[in-house]
Amino acid sequence: MKRVLIAAGMAFAMFQATANAAVDEEWAKSGAKEHGCLNCHAIDKKKMGPAWQDVGAKYNGKTAADLAASIKGKPIHAKPTKDMPAKEVEQMAEWILTLAK
Ligand code: HEC
């Protein structure tokens, strides 16, 4: 019985680890499109704003919360983030940090 519990606990821990690590990429991409982020940004090249794959390098060692605060703090983002709950901006930031080359 004890063994079964340990196995179940491990499976749960593994499930949690995967759930935390993976930001839903499809969700993030469609959100970036929907909120107009992609009018000014691309993942792999500079447009009006920086290429998102370069942002990760700048935020090396920092958290998604740091990046989310920066995104929300920029006046140019007032409009695109207006309808986004804080949590959504943070998840988007987390995804952007996974794009680093
Ligand atoms: C109207 C154009 C425009 C739109 C729309 C826009 N951005 Fe930006 N973004 C910029 C510009 C310009 C910069 C660079 C400004 C600066 O560094 O002060 C920037 C910077 C950034 C950065 C780098 C922040 C940093 O601290 O280096 C991230 C990440 C980012 N934008 C994400 C987003 C996301 C996510 C959205 C959609 C919710 C979005 N942007 C929508 C123009 C835009």
Kindly report, residue by residue over 3-25, the tens digit of the pLDDT: 666 666 555 555 544 455 568 99
Query: Higher model confidence: residue 28 or residue 20?
Result: 28
Q: Give the nearest ligand 1 atom to 36 CA.
A: 5
60, two tokens: 């090396």
The rounded distance, in Å, linking the Cα atoms of 57 and 24 is 21
Residues 6+ away with beta carbon under 8 Å from 7:
none
Tell me which residue has tokens 């991409």: 29
- Cα(59) to ligand 1 centroid in Å equals 14
- Cα(101) to ligand 1 centroid in Å equals 18
The rounded distance, in Å, linking the Cα atoms of 52 and 19 is 23
- Cα(55) to ligand 1 centroid in Å equals 10
